[in-house]
Amino acid sequence: MTHYIFTEEDIRGRVAICQQKIDDHGFQGLILSSESNLNYYSHFFTHAPWSTFSRPAFLFIPRQGKPVLYVHVFHAPDADVIAKGCDVRRFDSLYGPTAAQIEDVMHQLGMTTGTIGLEKGYEQRIGFEVSRYEALQAHVSNVTFADASSLIWSQRMIKSSKEVACIRKACEATSYALDKTFAAMEEGMTEWDVSRMMQTFMLEGGADYPGFVIITSGEGNYDRISKTATDRVLRDGDFVFVDAGARYHRYWSDFCRTGVVGAVSGKRQEYQQKIHDVTMRTAEIMRPGIPAAEVANACNKEMERAGFRANFECGRLGHGMGLMSTEPPSITLDDDTILESGMIINSTFASKKR
């Protein structure tokens, strides 16, 4: 089985593009601390991203020169091996470096004056304490910290061929798991049984990790579109909705399928075919140069044509994915992102009868 490796050259290429964008934005550098950004720009990752708030990590990307990855001594030996395109340095405190220690790294990289970009905006998060950020602000009075989310997403939204291949592998594992799970699903199973099958089949299908499983079944639950598994027992005739994502080389998939326990009525088959047709017709307009909002509007029109009303209760009709299970752009009526070659978009179309 092919295993896709991101090389030193790959990561250095990403950093070079980032540094050009830093210069274009008038920044002196970036300080990144979220797992996905550290992974993207340095190939550093941990065993349990976002599951613990101790041992934060920092990646300093200056306008020019080599980035510095600043990690706790617990992670440093691994970072020395897996990180690429950067110098690895270490701190001792379980809860992160002091403002003075962070300033020291900034000073060495020429990042103690001007504007420094942080993960302050859309679908970004700073991965260390707010109090430490406030202390750092006071410590480096000649620095203005600005939102770098548009800079980051302008690069990360465009996937390389290797990234596309990894996402495809994650999708294949999820599709395999959905096929196997719906084939094995039967009356008397619990939702937990279904969820465990899904996770097992994701691994069998080639995923590195099972990511998440959303499952909704039975009358009274169909509006719970983010529901996780319960002890509810499946009954004949239940409509079952499964939304799932697997991870391959830290890249995500995220899509859903639906089915029925027992025999499927002609009416339900007709409904499923209509939704499939809406999805395919909407996908036909997706090409470079089209605003994301235009895709959402096209879906609206196709829903109307099929006799349904598009449901925006989940906030959007689709989204990007990559090192996070949801990434920009969002397929909404107010997202003016222009689609470009290399973007990955999945659909989460939902509908209501008019």
pLDDT band at 265 (very low <50, low <70, confident <90, very high): confident
Asked if residue 263 is part of any domain, the answer here is yes
Q: Cα angle at 115 between 109 and 120, to 5 degrees?
A: 105
Percentage of the residues of the chain whose pLDDT score is greater than 90: 76
Is pLDDT above 70 for 182?
Answer: yes
What is the tally of structural domains in the chain?
Answer: 2
Q: What confidence score (pLDDT) does residue 313 get?
A: 67
Tokens of 60: 């300093």
Is pLDDT above 60 for 10?
Answer: yes
The bridge status of strand 29-32 relative to strand 114-118 is parallel
Distance of CA 265 to the CA centre of its chain: 36
Tokens of 299: 């879906």
CATH number at residue 191: 3.90.230.10
Task: Indicate the helix (H) or strand (E) that contains 225.
Answer: none
Q: What confidence score (pLDDT) does residue 2 get?
A: 57
Q: Label residue 53 exposed, middle or buried (CB < 10 Å: 0-12, 13-18, 19+).
A: exposed
Q: Select from 101, 125, 156 the last residue of a domain.
A: 156
Q: What are the E-state strand segments in the chain?
A: 29-32, 58-62, 68-72, 87-91, 114-118, 143-147, 209-217, 239-248, 251-252, 255-260, 308-310, 318-320, 327-330, 345-347, 351-353
Residue type, 182: F
Higher pLDDT, 53 or 288: 288
Asked if residue 148 is part of any domain, the answer here is yes
Is pLDDT above 70 for 262?
Answer: yes
Average pLDDT over every residue of 28-36 = 97
Asked if residue 209 is part of any domain, the answer here is yes
Are residues 147 and 245 located together in one domain of the fold? no
Asked if residue 238 is part of any domain, the answer here is yes
CATH number at residue 124: 3.40.350.10
Are residues 169 and 311 located together in one domain of the fold? yes
Q: Label residue 232 exposed, middle or buried (CB < 10 Å: 0-12, 13-18, 19+).
A: middle
Asked if residue 319 is part of any domain, the answer here is yes
Higher pLDDT, 224 or 49: 224
**Arithmetic mean of pLDDT over the chain:** 92
Sign of CA dihedral 333, 334, 336, 339: negative
Are residues 208 and 342 located together in one domain of the fold? yes
Q: What confidence score (pLDDT) does residue 349 get?
A: 52
pLDDT band at 48 (very low <50, low <70, confident <90, very high): confident
Are residues 50 and 139 located together in one domain of the fold? yes
Are residues 49 and 136 located together in one domain of the fold? yes
pLDDT tens figures, 272-313: 898 889 888 988 989 999 999 999 999 888 888 888 877 666
d(CA 61, CA 22): 9
Q: What confidence score (pLDDT) does residue 271 get?
A: 84
Reduced to 3 DSSP states, what percent helix, strand and coil does the chain have, rounded to the nearest 5?
35, 20, 40
pLDDT tens figures, 115-141: 999 999 999 999 999 999 999 999 999
Range of the domain at 303: 161-353
Q: Are 215 and 242 in contact, with CB atoms under 8 Å apart? A: yes
Are residues 243 and 347 located together in one domain of the fold? yes
pLDDT tens figures, 194-236: 999 999 999 999 999 999 999 999 999 888 889 999 999 999 9
Which of 189, 308, 314 lies closest to 240 in space, CA to CA?
Answer: 189
Q: What confidence score (pLDDT) does residue 84 get?
A: 97
Is pLDDT above 60 for 101?
Answer: yes
Residue type, 207: A
Listed in sequence order, the residues at least 6 apart from 102 whose beta carbon sits closer than 8 Å to its beta carbon are 31, 58, 70, 136, 139
Are residues 194 and 313 located together in one domain of the fold? yes
d(CA 232, CA 212): 18
Q: Select from 122, 156, 190 the last residue of a domain.
A: 156
Asked if residue 149 is part of any domain, the answer here is yes
Are residues 99 and 192 located together in one domain of the fold? no
Q: What confidence score (pLDDT) does residue 348 get?
A: 63
The rounded radius of gyration (Å) of the Cα atoms in the chain is 23
Average pLDDT over every residue of 231-249 = 96
Asked if residue 1 is part of any domain, the answer here is no
Asked if residue 2 is part of any domain, the answer here is no
Are residues 132 and 165 located together in one domain of the fold? no
Q: Select from 130, 156, 182 the last residue of a domain.
A: 156
Are residues 132 and 201 located together in one domain of the fold? no
Are residues 244 and 141 located together in one domain of the fold? no
Are residues 25 and 103 located together in one domain of the fold? yes
d(CA 161, CA 230): 39
